[in-house]
């Protein structure tokens, strides 16, 4: 067994020395104020042991990492019918692209690009008011992480509601194709709020544990999804979890992972561990620059890549 505590300490030390830290997302004003010097890492192994270093207990905006949780919830509600609403192919374009949507009749490529996550939010709204759907998501994430202190950062949600013009355009565009059942304002209310969930690396690594352990959370003893569904969610994270950088992430890290513009990444080493990293500066694809690098070191030194040691 590797000395995981020594490894996360090493990674943290190495990252602290980097002067090139990427660029903090500034299109959501509330994210632009985050200090790029932060770095946190948390690893929870399938036996429930935690290894953390750096700012592992500092909350950050998980943004698109939340799309893994909303996808899981929506699959629980409608099962494979979800795939009538959204595809499961990598998009090969930017996370907020509208061009592909037009060519493909308003059906988003996958649940992790913005349009796809907006379609998933629409599914979660069925039979609910936006507030209730948001409450369901928060309860689900608390259940996954086994932590009732997790909340939505209302400042971030408001900041994005005021400036998310592109997401409004995507939603209205999908509605024009008859692909949303609810008003764009309601769907985006749900979407912006789940993106604004504030979590720490430690909480995120707990929340992802069911994906590392075949759908079952060994820390809480609760089954979240079937083994097959966990495997498929992992497949989507591998192929689509890093926008147009998904191929590069698979090449360098070799683990299913989902990134967010807040600089967080949740990665899964199936059968081994759930890993969360946070470094707010992003690379050109909108993925955490040093977070990706930290996971690359992690995968290399543990041999956890799903493609072999
Ligand atoms: N709420 C963000 C947006 O829609 C999420 C983007 C991301 O994390 O990739 O722009």
State the catalytic residue, choosing from 156, 261, 268, 277. Answer: 261
Confirm or reject: Cβ of 95 under 6 Å from ligand 1. yes
Q: Are β-strands 257-259 and 264-269 bridged in parallel, bridged antiparallel, or unpaired?
A: antiparallel
pLDDT tens string 199-257? 999 999 999 999 999 999 999 999 999 999 999 999 999 999 999 999 999 999 999 99
Task: Look at residues 140, 175, 196 and tell me which one is the last residue of a structural domain.
Answer: 196
The span from the CA of 72 to the CA of 232, in Å, is 10
Residue 167, ligand 1, Cβ within 6 A: yes
Q: Is residue 308 part of a domain?
A: no
Catalytic residue (choose from 59, 64, 288, 305): 64
pTM given for the model: 0.97
Tell me whether residue 149 is in a domain: yes
Residue of 43, 219, 243, 292 with catalytic role: 243
Domain total in the chain = 2
User: Is residue 23 annotated as a catalytic residue, yes or no?
Assistant: no
Instruction: Tell which residue, 68, 20, 11, has the closest CA to residue 298.
Output: 11
User: Which residues, in sequence order, are CB contacts of 277 under 8 Å at separation 6+?
Assistant: 39, 40, 41, 42, 201, 264, 265, 267, 288, 291, 294, 295
Contact 24, 280 (CB under 8 A): yes
Whether 19 and 87 share a structural domain: no
Nearest atom of ligand 1 to the alpha carbon of 28? 10
pLDDT in tens, 8-45: 999 999 999 999 999 999 999 999 999 999 999 999 99
Q: Does ligand 1 come within 6 angstroms of the Cβ of 64?
A: yes
SS (H, E, C) 107-173: CCCCCCCHHHHHHHHHHHCCCCCHHHHHHHHHHHHHHHHCCCCCEECHHHHHHHHHHCHHHHHHHHH
Domain span at residue 124?
Answer: 64-196
List Cβ neighbours of 6 (8 Å cut-off, separation of 6 or more): none
Whether 168 and 288 map to the same domain: the answer is no
Q: Assign residue 216 the CATH number of its domain.
A: 3.40.710.10
For residue 195, how far is its CA from the centre of ligand 1 (angstroms)?
Answer: 7
Backbone angles phi, psi at 111, to 5 degrees: -75, 0
């Amino acid at each position: 067994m590797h000395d995981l505590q020594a490894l996360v300490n090493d990674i943290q030390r190495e990252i602290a020395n980097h002067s090139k830290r990427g660029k903090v997302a500034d299109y959501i004003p509330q994210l632009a104020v985050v200090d790029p010097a932060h770095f946190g890492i948390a690893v929870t192994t399938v036996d429930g042991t935690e290894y953390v270093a750096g700012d592992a207990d500092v909350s950050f905006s998980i943004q698109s990492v939340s799309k893994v949780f909303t996808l899981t919830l929506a699959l629980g509600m409608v099962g494979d019918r979800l795939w009538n609403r959204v595809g499961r192919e990598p998009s090969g374009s930017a996370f907020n692209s509208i061009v592909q949507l037009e060519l493909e009749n308003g059906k988003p490529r996958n649940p992790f690009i913005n349009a796809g996550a907006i379609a998933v939010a629409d599914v979660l709204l069925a039979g609910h008011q936006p507030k209730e759907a948001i409450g369901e998501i928060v309860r689900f994430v608390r259940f996954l992480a086994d932590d009732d202190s997790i909340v939505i950062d209302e400042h971030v949600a408001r900041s994005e509601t005021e400036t998310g013009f592109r997401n409004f355009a995507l939603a209205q565009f999908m509605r024009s194709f008859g692909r949303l059942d609810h008003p764009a304002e309601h769907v985006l209310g749900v979407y912006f709020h789940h993106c604004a969930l504030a979590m720490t690396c430690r909480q995120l690594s707990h929340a992802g544990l069911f994906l590392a352990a075949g759908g079952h959370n060994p820390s809480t003893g609760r089954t979240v999804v079937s083994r097959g569904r966990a495997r498929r969610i992992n497949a989507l994270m591998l192929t689509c979890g890093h926008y147009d950088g998904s191929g590069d992430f698979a090449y360098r890290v070799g683990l299913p992972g989902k990134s967010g513009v807040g600089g967080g990444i949740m990665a899964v080493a199936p059968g081994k561990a759930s890993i969360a990293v946070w470094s707010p500066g992003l690379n050109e694809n909108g993925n955490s620059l040093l977070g990706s690098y930290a996971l690359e070191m992690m995968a290399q030194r543990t041999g956890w890549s799903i493609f072999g040691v």
